[in-house]
Structure 1
Amino acid sequence: MSLRLDWNNEQEILDIPDAWITKLEQLLQLAAQAEGISEGEVSLTFTDDKEIHQLNLEYRGIDRPTDVLSFAMQEDGTEELDIIFEVESEDEADPISGMLGDIIISVETAEAQSKEYGHSLEREIGFLFVHGFLHLMGYDHEEDAAEAEMTAKQEAILQQAGLTR
């Protein structure tokens, strides 16, 4: 197995160009390399504000849309449900073990933010994807030091991919 991006588009605001997917695959490789990850799968969903608002309310108790949500599959949190997967033979691989997690991006919010920040929508989508990936890896931005570390990692990865401000 290698690193794999599985994506789907559940919004009708804009068509997702093939070049963006290629860039997101590159960002996945760069971000994973920076974290010492060589195998796994990330699921990415493009959605709109209405759907991400519902997910934000359901999973985080926050009653508003957001730009990106991440759901890690490899967390060791005490609130995570135990998944019991019965393997019938030693030759069968566990389909869940390689899944790093899900990233959901609101294209609607990303578009507004790209205008607000004065950079391309492609750069904003790339930023949100890397931001979401780092959350999958356990990074957060609740404290100043953690935010500074996460910001530095995001910017380094985006620079390597040519997605500058």
Structure 2
Amino acid sequence: MRKVKMSEKKTPKIYMSFRNNQKAIEVPNGLRTVIRKCIAETLRVTDFVGDADVSVTLVDNERIKRINKEFRDKNKVTDVISFPLGAYDEYDVNPENGAYMLGDIVISMEKAHAQAIEYGHSLVREVGFLATHSTLHLLGYDHEDDPDGEKVMLELQDLVLNNLKITRE
């Protein structure tokens, strides 16, 4: 098998359903494109082979808190939640587009906005970070149960955002 240089790797096609189910924070122009690019670049740098189908939903703090309580038994607001449909190269294929179905990403725009202010960077950068982070979870990366996972994820997140020139400003 021939090793492929990073520059030769094909960027996967992303089939992304996108829903804005919140009204608290105005969604910046181009945010959907940034999210798509972050997902694609995350797949590229992790050597994911094939096209991907991902659902992204923007919600408010109240909704993400309910989701966090229902699915993770944590009664608190969080910034992003991932719902992987597979991991480690075991994914169903969407018969409509032939892409691997990775799962769902749910982002709290209120929390992302607050974190962008706290960290001193743009909302676009914060949402790009969260989309990248969540995509890594869809691929099976873990920072909660894997002691080395946090370091690996941080390195990959930095690589993706730097490659896309999404900086902290």
Q: TM-score range by the shorter chain?
A: 0.7 to 0.9
Pairing partner for 1:47 from 52, 59, 66:
59
Deviates more, 1:20-29 or 1:110-119: 20-29
Shift of 1:95: 7.8
* Structure 2 portions without partners, runs of 5+: 1-11
SS of 1:14's partner is coil
CA distance in 2, matches of 1:13, 1:117: 20
Shift of 1:5: 1.7
* Deviation readout 1:118-156 (Å, 9 max, x if unpaired): 111110000000000000011111244210000000010
Pairing partner for 2:38 from 27, 36, 47:
27
Q: Residues 71, 96 of structure 1: CA spacing in aligned structure 2 closer, same or farther, 3 A cutoff?
A: farther
Aligned residue type for 1:40: A
SS of 1:64's partner is coil
* Bigger Rg, which one: 1
Aligned residue type for 2:121: H
Deviates more, 1:107-116 or 1:15-24: 15-24
Give the TM-score normalised by structure 1. 0.83
Q: Residues 33, 114 of structure 1: CA spacing in aligned structure 2 closer, same or farther, 3 A cutoff?
A: same
Structure 2 matches for 1:1-165, cutoff 5 A? 2-37=13-48, 38-75=50-87, 93=95, 98-142=100-144, 143-165=146-168
- 8 Å Cα contact 1:114/1:121 also seen in 2: yes
CA distance in 1, matches of 2:65, 2:129: 20
SS of 1:63's partner is coil
Shift of 1:158: 0.6
- 8 Å Cα contact 1:23/1:161 also seen in 2: no
SS of 1:140's partner is coil
Moved over 6 A (4+): 94-97
Aligned identity (percent) is 36
CA distance in 2, matches of 1:124, 1:136: 18
- 8 Å Cα contact 1:67/1:106 also seen in 2: yes
Give the TM-score normalised by structure 2. 0.81
Aligned residue type for 2:55: S
Aligned residue type for 2:102: L
Q: RMSD in angstroms over aligned alpha carbons?
A: 2.2
Aligned residue type for 2:127: I
